Structure 1
Amino acid sequence: MPYVPPTHTVERSMRATLGVRTVAGVDEVGRGAWAGPVTVCAAVTGLRRPPEGLTDSKLITPKRRTKLAAVLTDWVTSYALGHASSEEIDDLGMTAALRLAAVRALEALPEQPDAVILDGKHNYLGGPWTVRTVIKGDQSCVAVAAASVIAKVHRDGAMAELGAEYTPFAFADNAGYPSPVHRAALEEHGPTALHRLSWSYLDTMPRWQHLKKVREDGDTGEQLGFDF
């Protein structure tokens, strides 16, 4: 599939129809992981031409992604990161945890945006911002793509650092996501302080099932069906 660069089409439309000035692109990483936080980046880019090769972070090789993130952090008008910990995910459920992380990111921006472009089809953010959801916005919208890359590189780096403390789990390789090595370490050692204890992986590990947290609303994030 040929590379199609993201554009400012959605942002221009929001400016024209809603009269907003500052639009932030928002994307998350870590929603499907077994361990570690969910991380959200909010990025404001203006209407400048984006760096070459910018697209959804999942479509870029790790080496290229790291280099691109270094360029983007200087190129964007502003950006900020927000996190919700595994404990907050267990206590609140993924929907509320995503919102918490996104609010933390948006409120950390030096200038508050008038509107937000949110990757996906579910508006987990809500007010006070005007929100427009865009399926595959991390491929089509410049600000969302930039947020996608920055968030991914930042969280992967943080999980790699933690990997030195939790060597058997190979967080430097899997960033807390499911993998054969990760599963084997869980079965042998049990979950760490970084693991989400409301996740269904514990259902398949009889030795550690007693540690599972069960929410009354059943919201672990695994059933949300987000189209990210």
Structure 2
Amino acid sequence: MLKNHHYQDLVEAGCDEAGRGCLAGSVYAAAVILPPGYRNCELDDSKKLTPGKRYALRETIEHDALAWAVGIVTPEEIDRINILNASFLAMHRALDQLKVRPEAVIVDGNRFTPYRKLPFATIVKGDGKYLSIAAASILAKTYRDDYMCSLAEEYPQYDWQKNMGYPTKKHRQAIREYGITPYHRKSYNLLGDTQLSFDF
């Protein structure tokens, strides 16, 4: 069972992101506030769960959470401010949308930019340690997967419905063959060898 909270007696939001290492698509982040004393032995790091389990748990999280929200940062914004800052911005956008105001924030990873001067803790592999971060990882992952599958209908040759924008061999081969789309992150090394520059 993952831990219920990090801060004692504070309304705590857990945050995580999805899509940071992708070549295409927006980065998504989620923020989740769970009830005090909440327990769910099925919640875990989204990467350890099957797609079916993730989507089932998404429904549970949205039903049980005191508040939840998803924040999005576009490929254009990623290229402008870099992916690390974009990940933080996506988390801030998710926190902005919470219907319950958090008094503290816990984040998966080892870096974060302060949010409204609230106390925060960065926790390496936090999505496998704290329920709210695990819940955020599931929401960020499933909502981003939905988005990438919708983009795959428009650009089927990139295999996004399977790779979700990550740098697979098939994805990079499609870039070589068809070029890039408006959803590709132009600041990235898209072919995995030489840095490309694009002027649109």
Same structural fold, with TM-score higher than 0.5 when normalized by the shorter chain = yes
C-alpha distance in 1 between matches for 2:155 and 2:189: 21
Shift of 1:53: 1.4
Give 5+ residue unaligned stretches, structure 2: none
Contact 2:172 2:191 survives alignment (8 Å): no
Shift of 1:118: 0.7
Partner of 1:216: none
Say if 1:15 and 1:48 are closer, same or farther in 2 by CA, change over 3 A: closer
Match of 1:31 among 20, 37, 42: 20
Structure 1: which amino acid aligns with 2:3? T
The reply to whether residue 171 of structure 1 matches residue 145 of structure 2 is: no
Q: Which deviations, in whole Å up to 9, do the C-alpha atoms of 1:11-50 show, x marking residues without a partner?
A: xxx225xxxx311000001100000111110000022433
Partner of 1:75: 64
Partner of 1:160: 149
Across the aligned residues of Structure 1 and Structure 2, the Cα RMSD in angstroms comes to: 1.9
Partner of 1:133: 122
Partner of 1:211: 198
Partner of 1:225: none
C-alpha distance in 2 between matches for 1:78 and 1:98: 20
Of 143-152 and 197-206, deviating more is: 197-206
Q: Where do 1:3-82 residues align within 5 Å?
A: 5-10=1-6, 14-16=7-9, 21-82=10-71
Give 5+ residue unaligned stretches, structure 1: 214-228
C-alpha distance in 2 between matches for 1:96 and 1:180: 27
Q: Secondary structure at the match of 2:102?
A: coil
Shift of 1:127: 4.2
Structure 2: which amino acid aligns with 1:197? K
Structure 2 length normalisation: TM-score? Answer: 0.93
Q: Give the ranges of 4+ consecutive aligned residues of structure 1 lying more than 6 Å apart after TM superposition.
A: none
C-alpha distance in 2 between matches for 1:203 and 1:7: 39
Contact 1:202 1:212 survives alignment (8 Å): no
C-alpha distance in 2 between matches for 1:156 and 1:210: 27
Structure 1 length normalisation: TM-score? Answer: 0.82
C-alpha distance in 2 between matches for 1:114 and 1:85: 28
C-alpha distance in 2 between matches for 1:205 and 1:186: 13
More helix as a share of residues: 1
C-alpha distance in 2 between matches for 1:34 and 1:94: 11
Percent pairwise identity = 34
Aligned residues: 200
